[in-house]
Each structure stands twice: as C-alpha cells, then as structure tokens.
Amino acid sequence: MPATRHEFDVLVLGSGIAGLNFALQAARHGRVGLVTKKNRADSNTNWAQGGIASVTSREDSFELHVRDTLDAGAGLCRESVVRTIVEEGPARIQELLELGARFTEREIPAEPGRRELDLTREGGHSKRRVLHAADATGAELERTYLQAIASQPNITVLEDHLAIDLITSAKIGAAGPNRILGVYVLDRIRQEVEVFAAPVVVLATGGSGKVYLYTTNPDIATGDGVAMAYRAGLPIANMEFVQFHPTCLFHPQVRNFLISEAVRGEGAVLRGADGKRFMDRYDARGELAPRDIVARAIDSEMKRTGADCVFLDLTHLQESFITGHFPTIHARCRELGIDIARRPIPVVPAAHYQCGGVVASVDGVTEITGLYAVGEVACTGLHGANRLASNSLLEALVCSHRAAQHALQHRPESHSLTIPEWQTGNATDPDELVVVSHNWDEVRRTMWDYVGIVRTNKRLRRAEKRLGNLTEEIREFYWNFRVTADLLELRNLVTVAELIVACSLQRPESRGLHYNLDFPSSHPAWAQRDTVIRRPA
Ligand code: SIN
C-alpha cells in the first residue's frame, strides 16, 4: 500500500514558541502543517521558568542589554545579530501581550493603583529586564500560542509525528541549487513513515539536553533538528558550548527539575555542605555571575569537598514573597518533602541549553533554499560562547517572526520533482530492543563523564572512541530493522554527541561554556572564530 502523503505550503517541525509563532504568521497566507513528536505542549518552551529578557524599563537601554549579551558570550557573539534581536524585542513583546499573554505585574511604587510589568533579574544582567509569568513563563507562552492556533483553520497540528529526515533536491539527485522538498515523518501511533511535501520547512525542534545523563530538559530534547540538518549536509557550528544550568534540583527520583535563576536574582545564596557561602571566592558578582562561572564554581566545590550537591538558600526571604514569586518551585519541592521557605534546596548543575546548532541567519535562513532554522536548534550568533539568561525565548520570538517574513517574501518557485517513498527494504521488526535502551544510557553517561563542565583532550578522545563504536552499532540497527521512535531519537542523540565532541576538540582554548584543562585560557586567535562541522560529502 502506498504511504500516506501530505502537502502543505509550510511545514513546521516543533511546537515550542519558535515553531508556533512561525506557524501563526504563515497561516495568514497558506496551509501550514505543524508536526510535533508527542503532545503539542511537549516542548522546552513549556518548561521555561525564568522569562524573556527585553528592554521595557526606563532605567534600562538597548546598549546595556547588548553589552550584557556580548559580555556573557565571551567574544563570540555576532554583534549585528545581538543588536537586531535586542532592538526588535519590545515590538515582539507587545504582540505577545496583544495575543493575550499574561505576565506578572506589580504596583508602581510612586503611583498607587497603577501597575506595570514586573521585571526580575538573572545572572549576567546589569538591570532588571526579565519579563515573567511568576516562575512558569514558558507555560504561559505555550498556553497563549496554543489558544491562538486553535482558532486558525489554516493550521493542521499532527501530534505523535516524529520527523526522520529532510528531503532535499540534492538528496534525490536533482540538478540545480539545493532546495527543500519535504520531510519523512514517522507516525508513532500507526508506525508508518509518511511523506510530507512542502516548499518551506521550518526546523523549530529545540535543543539536545537529553544527550547528557542529567538535564533540566524534557524527554523530547534529543537534538533531532541538528542531526537531520547535519545529515542533509548543512554546516553545524559551536556545539561545544553546552550550557549547564547551575541549579537543577538534586533529588533521587526527580532529576530534571529546574530551580530558576530568578531565585538567585531575587536574593537566594549558594552554600556548601558546611553551610558557608562560596561564590565570592570565584567572582565579584557572586551568585549573579554568568552561568558558566556559577556552574563551574559549583562543580569545583563539589569536587573539592566530595559533596553530592550544594545548597540554594532562600530561607531569609519572606514566605509570602517566595510563594508569590515562585509558586511552581515551591509547590513541586513541597511535594518532594522540601519546604523551601525553611530549608535550603539541594542543587547540582545539569545540561540546560545548546548554544550552537544549525548555522542560520537572524532571519532563520539556512544554506538550503526554503529551509529555516529558528530557536534553540539554530546558531545565529546571538549567544556566542555562553547564552545570557532568558535571551533564548527572545531569540525564538524575534527570529521566528523574521523568518516568517522572509519566507513570505521569498516564496520558492514551484517544481516538478517527485519525492520518492520511504524505503524499508528488507527491514524486519527489531528483535533486541535492549540494545537501543542500553545505547541510550551509554551515550548519555559517556557525555556526562567525559564531555561535561570541565574537559580535557584525553577525556574528549575517550568519548570520541566510544561514540564511534556506538554510532556503528546504531547504524547497523537502523538499516536492518524497522524504525521506532526510540531508535530514531537514539540515532539523533549519538550524532549530536559526536558533534559536541568534534567541536570541543577543534577549539584549542577555553572560552565561555567550553572549559578545557589542557588549554585553560582564551586564545586571541580564536576570538570571533566559530567551530564549524559539515558532513563529509
Ligand atoms: C531559569 O529560569 O533559570 C532559566 C532561564 C533561562 O534558561 O534562560
């Protein structure tokens, strides 16, 4: 029986803020398919606690936001991109408010009865500039967008659909400039590989936190977009810059619950197992130093003292302030037996954000005509070697808007190329699924042990070797057996892991999030130099 075929004017992969914003705009002009691998609300966006950084207060300025972003980025940001994103932020925030997003407000101190947006502070920001919806900002954005797209007849949402590979003109051997034709997608419920044809495809697939054993990311963060783009021949840049969030809850059962940086922004302090503060020994900005510095300081304290975790103490803050500002964190910790108003929270660093990704312009444009990359999957030059807290939702919002405008203004010409069906060949059902789950664990543990916060070339080479063996095994499995979602995600995960290692080995220095004991300083020759990897032809 021929496989199911779908046709759209625009196909969006991913249902976080970047994908939803693109879809909403594109739907005013054509039919949009929105493919998401689980439930539509399963996205990194939905888990974001802190907020969106944008200049909305009179005490702040674009210049300051640009400077903070460049400082955090440790010399590797593209300044023109930073300026564009920072300066277009307020207009996008205004649109969000018009769409119905409800951010936390506060009474203006000198003007009783009048309210304004409440701004919180996070590491690396010289001003209060983070808009937030208490401590569940991402969930509020997701709610707003899902409500908006629900009343948009031009958008078809396909849940439980996992993108497998991009279909390009080069892939099917057609002459001329490489252009996107569509995507092979696994319907997870029917276990069928379907063909989605579209002249415009948007990678909005998020990051790859699951490549590490400990992460603040949801299960969907398996680097699918980066891996697909790499297989399609696109350049992938700066994958060595994996951001470890300093404060993930340390709990035997719950391993990916974030304790927002805004908690430190509002005055919480870090203490070692001896109850003493330690951040002042590492940076004059203390707990509000940029994330790379705080995460490394915690890692070093844990190694120095042999402790399993450190503690985030906010017991000096008023209980009503804690429950008002951090209701989600308060409630979740309480469920787990930790009353954060009375007891310091045990925390450890965990993989949080992928600063590198598919090379894309600030308009989301990639090297393949009609293919866009927006949000965490993309490497636009905003984050450089270290993302400033809460700049990611801002980037997703601004770049997806710009990408949608670009796509509307540059509609690809129609073509007569035929997309072949997915070939299953002689594949049979896998007989030993234990291989897949074992390899999942091995990739994640290898990355945690050898490619973590502090690296050495010896450890990186070890990881390279192990990942090489795993890649061979996974490739064999992929070709011989019918594909499953677990196998496809594993295949992506190991590709992303190899890219992180390869980029790390390319950079002979320490910069931002990439810290290598063999090269503990930054090298001027590597300032403004990206590590770029492309699949050999
Ligand atoms: C947080 O709330 O700490 C996360 C914010 C971010 O990653 O930008």
Instruction: Summarize the confidence of residues 331-338 as an average pLDDT.
Output: 97
Q: Which two tokens stand for residue 27?
A: 């739907």
Cβ–Cβ < 8 Å for 496, 208: yes
- Return the half-sphere exposure (C-beta side, CA atoms, 13 A cut-off) of residue 435: 16
Q: How far apart are CA 536 and CA 515, in angstroms?
A: 27
Strands (E), 221-368: 236-237, 242-249, 269-271, 310-313, 345-354, 357-359
Residue 116 has a CB neighbour count (10 Å cut-off) of: 13
Q: Which atom of ligand 1 is nearest to the CA of 390?
A: 8
The DSSP bridge partners found for residue 310 are 347
Assess whether the C-beta atom of 215 lies below 6 angstroms from ligand 1: no
Supply the residue whose CA is at minimum distance from atom 5 of ligand 1.
Answer: 50
Q: Looking at the predicted structure, is the pLDDT value of residue 435 above 70?
A: yes
Assess whether the C-beta atom of 349 lies below 6 angstroms from ligand 1: no
Q: Which atom of ligand 1 is nearest to the CA of 352?
A: 7
Assess whether the C-beta atom of 403 lies below 6 angstroms from ligand 1: no
Q: How far apart are CA 206 and CA 11, in angstroms?
A: 16
Q: Which atom of ligand 1 is nearest to the CA of 53?
A: 8
Which residue in the block uniquely carries the two structure tokens 């932020």?
Answer: 89
Cβ–Cβ < 8 Å for 395, 375: yes
Strand-strand pairing, 115-117 and 192-197: unpaired
What pLDDT was estimated at residue 425? Answer: 66
Alpha helices in 189-348 (DSSP H): 224-231, 261-265, 291-305, 319-325, 327-335
Supply the residue whose CA is at minimum distance from atom 4 of ligand 1.
Answer: 50
The three-state secondary structure class of 146 is: helix
Q: Please write the tens of the pLDDT for every residue from 117-154.
A: 999 999 899 999 999 999 999 999 999 999 999 999 99
Segment among 57-61, 107-111, 361-365, 432-436 with least mean pLDDT: 432-436
Alpha helices in 184-318 (DSSP H): 224-231, 261-265, 291-305
Query: Which amino acid is located at 443 in the chain?
Result: V
If one residue of 247, 258, 291 were mutated to test the ligand 1 pocket, choosing by the most ligand atoms within 8 A of its CB, it would be 258
Q: Distance, CA 328 to ligand 1 centroid (Å)?
A: 14
Q: Please write the tens of the pLDDT for every residue from 63-97.
A: 999 999 999 999 999 999 999 999 999 999 999 99
Residue 512 has a CB neighbour count (10 Å cut-off) of: 26
Sign, CA torsion 503/508/513/517: positive
Sign, CA torsion 77/81/83/85: negative
Cβ–Cβ < 8 Å for 214, 351: yes
Q: Please write the tens of the pLDDT for every residue from 154-176.
A: 999 999 999 999 999 999 999 99
Residue 524 has a CB neighbour count (10 Å cut-off) of: 9
Q: Please write the tens of the pLDDT for every residue from 217-246.
A: 999 999 999 999 999 999 999 999 999 999
The 10 Å CB-count burial string (b at 16+, else e) for 321-355 is ebbebbeebbebbeeeebebbeebbbbbbbbbbbb
Cβ–Cβ < 8 Å for 386, 290: yes
Q: Distance, CA 23 to ligand 1 centroid (Å)?
A: 25
Q: How far apart are CA 375 and CA 96, in angstroms?
A: 17
Q: Please write the tens of the pLDDT for every residue from 376-415.
A: 999 999 999 999 999 999 999 999 999 999 999 999 888 8
The three-state secondary structure class of 218 is: coil
Q: Which atom of ligand 1 is nearest to the CA of 261?
A: 3
Assess whether the C-beta atom of 247 lies below 6 angstroms from ligand 1: no
What is Dmax (Cα atoms) for the chain? 74
Cβ–Cβ < 8 Å for 13, 183: yes
Q: How far apart are CA 522 and CA 511, in angstroms?
A: 5
Q: Which two tokens stand for residue 37?
A: 């691998």
Q: Which two tokens stand for residue 196?
A: 């989605």
The 10 Å CB-count burial string (b at 16+, else e) for 139-150 is bbbbbbbeebbe
The three-state secondary structure class of 39 is: coil
Q: How far apart are CA 66 and CA 387, in angstroms?
A: 12
The DSSP bridge partners found for residue 184 are 165, 195
Q: Which residues are catalytic?
A: 291
What average pLDDT does the structure give for the chain?
95
Cα distance from N-terminal residue to C-terminal residue, the chain: 34
Sign, CA torsion 124/129/132/134: positive
Q: How far apart are CA 516 and CA 531, in angstroms?
A: 15
Cβ–Cβ < 8 Å for 261, 123: yes
Q: Which of 209, 238, 201 is nearest to 19 (CA)?
A: 201
What pLDDT was estimated at residue 498? Answer: 98
Q: Distance, CA 68 to ligand 1 centroid (Å)?
A: 16
Q: Which two tokens stand for residue 83?
A: 């300026």
The backbone torsions φ and ψ at residue 80, rounded to the nearest 5 degrees and listed phi first, read -65, -35
Q: Distance, CA 260 to ligand 1 centroid (Å)?
A: 6
Percent of the chain topping pLDDT 90: 88
What pLDDT was estimated at residue 49? Answer: 86
- Confidence grade of residue 452 (pLDDT, cut at 50, 70, 90): very high
How does DSSP classify residue 526? G
Instruction: Summarize the confidence of residues 14-37 as an average pLDDT.
Output: 96
What are the distances in angstroms from CA 409 to CA 41, 57, 532? 30, 33, 29
Assess whether the C-beta atom of 386 lies below 6 angstroms from ligand 1: no
